[in-house]
Chains A and B, each alone.
Chain A
């Protein structure tokens, strides 16, 4: 059973590798969103340092959102999704595998280029490691909750906007705890409770998302 789930992850990774454009485009979008802020706010180093954490988090959130509607879409179009429903693997496990694959192909590349953006946004040095750590802990929640949104909108033609409207409010806790933890470390305060709440939220969303998303896919494809 787990072997099959693993093979779904491998398949998705291979697919995204072969048409690599999606991942690189999301990364490009991420960088572009962050770069917009100095133009809008002004290049003062102090102000940039102050907003850097928040801007990078919001940009990561938006980039993640951008890639969500493709999560089940291609499988729906070529019929693989029907095959997943018919296959002996529980659909919940399939969803879990898809979410993990989404995290590996979207969030992980974003986290890898985050240090460069941190330098550009004049992020204080003590903030780099905490920012990477919070993103590692928090972005799984984005993929899992996003999986619920993607499954709700998979059969819809105008799904993209509905997806953003549904999902963005649910991302607020990640944003709050993620940026609070980094700011706490920069300011010299203990950040442990923020980190624990952040990982708690990620684990919690990993626990509910497969059930909700699988139910939504079954309802949508009926």
Chain B
């Protein structure tokens, strides 16, 4: 019973917080989109196409944030054998992978008007792509191992080895990229951004963040419930269900 104490408390607390988080998400999205589409001025070079950064930048940020959460949750789960942390890491993975895919997609869509092609081996796009595959590998571990306790442990090891390597890979891809093509590509974090553009971007990042947290709580709830359903079935079926 002791093991279930924490997930139970999580369920109770999350039910109180979830409506507030949802409201905040909607509010941030509404204001962020309004700023992004109506208040932020057109870029003098890129016209209206630049507005995709209000999706692209938050998505790319959430992709990295997601892997960070997985790594922290995995470490907590592995060291303290905290079942809730394992579930949190598992629940984060598809979200992070989704945001990574969104960042890749918007990045390549934006690349078409900017670079004249959908794909360029730009350092950021390339590391994003590798991050996507690392997410897939992590999720595959959970899918392949049937015993959930074992899967949690092994997935945690994979995630922790992964986070160290994500940093190394990011560094080496930057290195590789600067040697192959000098930095002529356009950068997002130039000094040109400011005023309403910055407000819109920050609001959108906030909105994505809240959306991420809200969905994460949902997913953890459903994973906990699924585990409970399975435990109850086992009891009913005398260990066969």
Contacts and interface: CB of A to CB of B under 8 A. Distances in A.
A166 interface: yes
Contacts, number: 71
B164 A208 contact: yes
A197 B160 CA distance: 21
B157 A169 contact: no
Interface residue range, chain B: 20 to 34
Interface string B109-149: 00000000000000000000010011011001100110000
A165 B175 CA distance: 24
Contact of B169 (A165, A169, A197, A212): A169
Contacts of B153: 215-216, 219
B188 interface: no
Interface residues of A, number: 27
A219 B77 CA distance: 13
A168 to B, nearest CB: 8
A165 B137 contact: yes
A148 interface: yes
Contacts of B172: 172-173, 176-177, 197
A212 B160 contact: yes
Interface string B1-32: 00000000000000000000000000000000
A152 B152 CA distance: 12
Contacts of B76: none
Contact of A165 (B130, B140, B160, B179): B140
Nearest to B150: A219
Interface of A: 148, 152-153, 156, 158-159, 162, 165-166, 168-170, 172-173, 176-177, 180, 197, 201, 204, 208, 212, 215-216, 219-220, 222
Interface of B: 130, 133-134, 136-137, 140-141, 144-145, 150, 153-154, 157-158, 160-162, 164-165, 168-169, 172-173, 175-176, 179
21 contacts: A162-B140, A162-B141, A162-B144, A165-B137, A166-B158, A169-B133, A169-B165, A169-B169, A170-B161, A170-B162, A170-B165, A176-B172, A176-B175, A180-B175, A180-B179, A197-B175, A208-B161, A208-B164, A212-B157, A215-B153, A219-B150
